[in-house]
Amino acid sequence: MREHWKALTALGVVIIVVVIVVIIMTRPATPAPETKGAGKLGFPVSDIRIGEGGSRKAGDGKTPIGYDGSCNSAIQAAANYAPLLRDFSFKTWAVQKKTLTEVSKPGEWFKNTTFPNDFLKNSKELPPGTSTVGFLRRTDVAAGGMYRVGFCKEKEKAVVQVFAGSVGARVNAGLSAGFETLSLELSWDGDWKITDSLPGSTATEDFGGKVKDIGPYGGARESDGASPTLTASMVDDVFKNASREGWVEYANAKR
Amino acid sequence: MLSAKRWVRVAAATAALFLGLGVAFPASAFAAEDVSAGEKLNADELKRLAALPEGDRNKIRDRLNQEHGKSACSDPWFHGLMGGNECENISAKAFGRFLTTPEKSLDYDGKAAPFCAGLSAVKAPATGLGWCVGKTVIDQWAPIAGVAMRAALMTTPGGRGVLGVVDTVAFIANAKNGFEDFANTVKAEGVKAANEVLNNLLKVSEFQVNKSFTGTWAVFSGVGIFLMALMYLKLWKDVAEEEVDMESARHALVWYGPLSMVLVLFGPMVGWYLNTWIGGIVDGITPWTSSRVADFMTAIARFASYESTGVFGPLAAVVLFGLMWLGAWSMLGLFALQPFALYLLGTGIALMIGFMIHPKYRPRVLKTGTLWLSIALTKPLMLLIMAAVFAFIVSQPAFAAGGVDDGLVNATSVFIAGAAMCVLGFAPALLFMFVPMLPSTATGLGAGRSSVVGAATVAGAGAALSSMIRQRRTAAIQSGTGHGSSRTNPGLNGRSSWILPEDRPVRDPGESGGHGRRAAAQNQAQEQGPQTIEEAQAAQRSGSGGSRAGAAVRSGAARAGRGSAKIAAGGAVAFLMAGRETARQAAIRGQQAAGSMAPDTSHISGR
């Protein structure tokens, strides 16, 4: 009988071990520490705000110019210049083009960037189904609200990417909202001046090697005229072909 | 004493090893949850798309590329720079340069580079090309999904087939009375039900070892562990009364005790592996099956266009299309209940796992486990049989190109389709007679306590079914397919001939791409085709054609029904019974260990 008592004891030990393991395993797992940044969507948030910086306004009365040449000011300038490149309305294009000239240096890129708008402006008829809307595209930088610095040397040169929302009219269809990345090369000439941009440049997707990748884009959807607020799933969608590394939120991004 | 010590050490080491693994990889059981493709086509629809003829696929691809073109040209700048109205056509051509299959077209993610290259290849205006390259992305481009995609697919006949939409024509135009109206309704419903069910057949039936299952398992195994404690009391009592010898008691204590605990922890994982493995088999079979089903869809489209002619009047329509309706729903029920039965049986196992420690009750657990495996394995088996049956139906003269303008032939084809689906719907009952060692009261199939062999038996289930079918000649359809396969393989006996289809589809995925798959499927059809048509013709020669064959089917079915009356009556309900039975057994054993209270099964199995 003795050996069986031993066996029983051994069994008891095994059962106790099993029970302990079961208890340990079924305890609610402590969530892994969040390595995400401070923002809602997991990106770090900076102090830099869209629409600020600069000491005066450009000819259109709203675009800030006169930056101090720091890298932070380049990031501000990129956000503030973005609408000049990407907005389009038949009524305001003339003024906008003039302002764009003010904040940039002419070159092949400028022709490429402004040509389509000029083309539309000069075409005899509006694209079908777009006449009821007052604009063809409106950029909402705060809706995207992120930037990535590709390169920056104070008072010399900076390459900044800006992730912005946009609402556009479509041919024979309603408005559509989407997100896109603008890549801007800024050069210092008493102020930050645009010397190249993507879209617009005929350069490759990495902006001639100046940026890591083209950046997030996409997420097109029907719109009532406003850019949608970015959600985690939309972020997943727009970033499916781009790296998340280096992207930082503006302090006043729409979230 | 030494041996006891060694036992303890071995048991402890094994337990420690497994528990250690369990702690290290507890998440593996959840790995089965995957992400759905969203608003895109589901797996079934994609399989049907792959099975379409090349011409239909190209039409669908062109239509989708047209949609892409429309999407790209909705950008006012691009539209203008491309020269306005020509934009869509040129863009569609550019998309066609690199989106060469409908699948590629569905998966296109909006990358501009290949599109711009395509534009330059189709000689688009330089201004448009410049915009494309300069913009680098088509930022207003939206993926084709949801309603837009379905609307685009609906415009091509092949696309309608992929989406499984069928337009039914009224059987009797301008119905004059209520009955004719009723005939119209039954026809529309029958065709629609058959179509819908076949479309969704492969997707309703998924048993998954997921979080919900493991959660339920945890609760039930908690009760199971409590029952195990009671079992220990019972064991010690039996030892004391010398009904169980010390040898068995030691086995129970140091081996089955820890083993059942390990199984409590790893049951879902083992289940997951088995389920995934069987899922692999199913995946191997489904392309072949779904291409057969796709063929059958064309047959259904033919049904949809049937109108009353000659003897094929309203009464015949009500009966025949009614049969089709019944068959379709019975098949759906069958496939829907299969995962349900697996779920219930699984939790039943958790409940009775403690029974493993008592030598007297151990076989019951093994039996239930085997039953679970058997039911899990019936799905691939059913898919194979289904494909074979549909291949037969489609080879009927009524479905040859152009069809036959003969009311009787058409009526017969409807009957065969309906009867075939009924047979499939109720076939699990027939399967169950031979496949598992069922602990079902209804069937008396519990005999043979050494259920471990059940798993092996399952592997031969096809063979068993074949021989059973041979015996019974259940229906003209079945004997048709049976003959077909066996004659193409002279020298093989009946058993292996039925397994034959299994060999093919499993090999199929190995062949590269849809072409190979289709080719293999066609091969199969060709091998079967001549034989089955010949038989059908023989049936026609032998008398009043279809009605004669129909009578044969009917009487065959009746005989089969009598033979396995109790199960066949329930049909798919057998699944339910099995699951409930297990739970009931466990509950009863928990309260009263005495064998006298065991349900009928145990009488039989105890004999």
Do the domain assignments include residue B518? yes
Chain B nearest CA to A80, separation (Å): 20
pLDDT score of B249:
84
Query: Could you tell me if B134 and B215 lie in one domain?
Result: no
Instruction: Say if residue B580 is exposed, middle or buried (CB neighbours under 10 Å; 0-12, 13-18, 19+).
Output: middle
Of A176-190, A196-210, B102-116, B132-146, the range with the lowest mean pLDDT is B132-146
Do the domain assignments include residue B474? yes
Selecting from B8, B84, B111 the residue whose C-beta is nearest the C-beta of A7 gives B8
**Does B310 reach chain A within 8 Å, measured CB to CB?**
no
Going along chain A from its start, the domains and CATH numbers come out as 44-249 (3.10.450)
CB contacts of A131 in chain B (<8 Å) are none
- Those residues with Cβ within 8 angstroms of residue A30's Cβ, 6 or more apart along the chain or in another chain: none
Q: Does residue B247 surpass a pLDDT of 80?
A: yes
CA distance B199 to B188: 16
Most distant CA pair in chain B: distance in Å?
98
Last residue of a domain, one of B131, B163, B195: B163
CB contacts of A10 in chain B (<8 Å) are 8, 11-12, 254
CB contacts of A115 in chain B (<8 Å) are 130
CA distance A167 to B436: 63
pLDDT score of A162:
92
Query: Could you tell me if B117 and B235 lie in one domain?
Result: no
Give me the residues of B, 469-498, that contact A with CB < 8 A.
none
Do the domain assignments include residue B28? no
Give the model's confidence band at B414: pLDDT under 50 very low, under 70 low, under 90 confident, else very high: confident
Which residues does residue A179 pair with via DSSP β-bridges, in sequence order?
A165, A218
pLDDT score of B427:
64
Q: In this complex, do A22 and B254 lie within 8 Å of one another by their Cβ atoms?
A: no
Q: Does A146 or A7 have the greater pLDDT score?
A: A146
Query: Could you tell me if B119 and B237 lie in one domain?
Result: no
Q: Does residue B383 surpass a pLDDT of 50?
A: yes
Q: In this complex, do A170 and B75 lie within 8 Å of one another by their Cβ atoms?
A: yes
Q: Does A68 or B401 have the greater pLDDT score?
A: A68
Instruction: Say if residue B585 is exposed, middle or buried (CB neighbours under 10 Å; 0-12, 13-18, 19+).
Output: buried
Q: Which domain holds residue B367?
A: 210-606
CB contacts of B261 in chain A (<8 Å) are 14-15, 18
Q: How many beta-carbon pairs below 8 A join chains A and B?
A: 135
β pairing state of A218-222 and A192-198: unpaired
CA distance B56 to B157: 8
- Work out the percent of chain B whose per-residue pLDDT is above 90: 0
- Work out the percent of chain B whose per-residue pLDDT is above 70: 56
CA distance A6 to B1: 9
Which residues does residue A110 pair with via DSSP β-bridges, in sequence order?
none
Domain count for chain B = 2
Q: Does residue B452 surpass a pLDDT of 50?
A: no
Q: Does residue A183 surpass a pLDDT of 60?
A: yes
pLDDT score of A147:
92
Q: Does residue B568 surpass a pLDDT of 70?
A: no
Last residue of a domain, one of B163, B182, B198: B163
Q: Does residue A152 surpass a pLDDT of 80?
A: yes
Q: Does residue B165 surpass a pLDDT of 80?
A: no
Query: Could you tell me if B153 and B220 lie in one domain?
Result: no
Do the domain assignments include residue B12? no
Last residue of a domain, one of B163, B194, B219: B163
Give the model's confidence band at B470: pLDDT under 50 very low, under 70 low, under 90 confident, else very high: very low
Q: In this complex, do B141 and A220 lie within 8 Å of one another by their Cβ atoms?
A: yes
Do the domain assignments include residue B15? no
**Does B203 reach chain A within 8 Å, measured CB to CB?**
no
Q: In this complex, do A171 and B12 lie within 8 Å of one another by their Cβ atoms?
A: no
> Per-residue b/e over A189-217, b at no fewer than 16 CB within 10 Å?
eebbbbbbbbbbbebebebeebbebbbbb
- Those residues with Cβ within 8 angstroms of residue A240's Cβ, 6 or more apart along the chain or in another chain: A218, B109
Give me the residues of B, 239-298, that contact A with CB < 8 A.
246, 249-250, 253-254, 257-258, 261, 265
Predicted ipTM?
0.76
Q: Which helix (H) or strand (E) holds A152?
A: strand A146-153
Report, as an integer, the average pLDDT of B558-579: 39
CB contacts of B255 in chain A (<8 Å) are none
Of A99-108, B216-225, B354-363, B505-514, the range with the lowest mean pLDDT is B505-514
CB contacts of B136 in chain A (<8 Å) are 198-199, 205, 214
**How does pLDDT run across A43-89, given as a tens digit for each residue?**
888 888 888 888 888 888 888 899 988 888 999 999 999 888 888 88
CB contacts of B211 in chain A (<8 Å) are none
Q: In this complex, do B137 and A217 lie within 8 Å of one another by their Cβ atoms?
A: yes
Distances (CA, A) of B276 to B256, B273, B332: 27, 5, 22
Selecting from B12, B19, B111 the residue whose C-beta is nearest the C-beta of A10 gives B12
**Does B126 reach chain A within 8 Å, measured CB to CB?**
no
Do the domain assignments include residue B90? yes
Nearest CA in chain A to B23: A25
Give the model's confidence band at A28: pLDDT under 50 very low, under 70 low, under 90 confident, else very high: low
Report, as an integer, the average pLDDT of B377-386: 76
**How does pLDDT run across A184-211, given as a tens digit for each residue?**
889 998 899 998 887 766 656 677 777 8
CB contacts of B254 in chain A (<8 Å) are 7, 10-11
Q: Which of B125, B117, B141, B118 is nearest to B80 (CA)?
A: B125
Q: Does residue B388 surpass a pLDDT of 60?
A: yes
Mean pLDDT of chain B: 65
Q: Does residue A234 surpass a pLDDT of 60?
A: yes
**How does pLDDT run across B198-245, given as a tens digit for each residue?**
766 666 556 777 778 888 888 888 888 888 888 888 888 888 888 888
Report, as an integer, the average pLDDT of B462-480: 39
Query: Could you tell me if B393 and B541 lie in one domain?
Result: yes
Selecting from B77, B111, B254 the residue whose C-beta is nearest the C-beta of A7 gives B254
- In terms of phi and psi (left: phi > 0; alpha: psi -120 to 50; beta: otherwise), the region of B496 is alpha
Query: Could you tell me if B152 and B216 lie in one domain?
Result: no
Query: Could you tell me if B486 and B577 lie in one domain?
Result: yes
Give the model's confidence band at B549: pLDDT under 50 very low, under 70 low, under 90 confident, else very high: very low
Give the model's confidence band at A33: pLDDT under 50 very low, under 70 low, under 90 confident, else very high: very low
Give me the residues of B, 81-100, that contact A with CB < 8 A.
81, 84
Mean pLDDT of chain A: 82
Q: Does residue B447 surpass a pLDDT of 70?
A: no
CA distance B33 to B209: 9
Angle at B345 between CA B341 and CA B347, to 5 degrees: 120
Query: Could you tell me if B151 and B218 lie in one domain?
Result: no
Nearest CA in chain A to B266: A22
Q: In this complex, do B140 and A22 lie within 8 Å of one another by their Cβ atoms?
A: no
**How does pLDDT run across B307-316, given as a tens digit for each residue?**
777 777 888 8
Report, as an integer, the average pLDDT of B138-167: 71
Query: Could you tell me if B153 and B242 lie in one domain?
Result: no
Do the domain assignments include residue B256? yes
Q: Does B276 or B283 have the greater pLDDT score?
A: B276
**Does A8 reach chain B within 8 Å, measured CB to CB?**
yes
Nearest CA in chain A to B7: A7
Query: Could you tell me if B150 and B217 lie in one domain?
Result: no
Give the model's confidence band at B530: pLDDT under 50 very low, under 70 low, under 90 confident, else very high: very low
Report, as an integer, the average pLDDT of B490-505: 37
Give the model's confidence band at B475: pLDDT under 50 very low, under 70 low, under 90 confident, else very high: very low
Q: In this complex, do A218 and B137 lie within 8 Å of one another by their Cβ atoms?
A: yes
Query: Could you tell me if B148 and B257 lie in one domain?
Result: no
Query: Could you tell me if B152 and B300 lie in one domain?
Result: no
Beta strands in B453-514 (DSSP E): none
Selecting from A8, A25, A241 the residue whose C-beta is nearest the C-beta of B26 gives A25
Do the domain assignments include residue B374? yes
Nearest CA in chain A to B88: A171
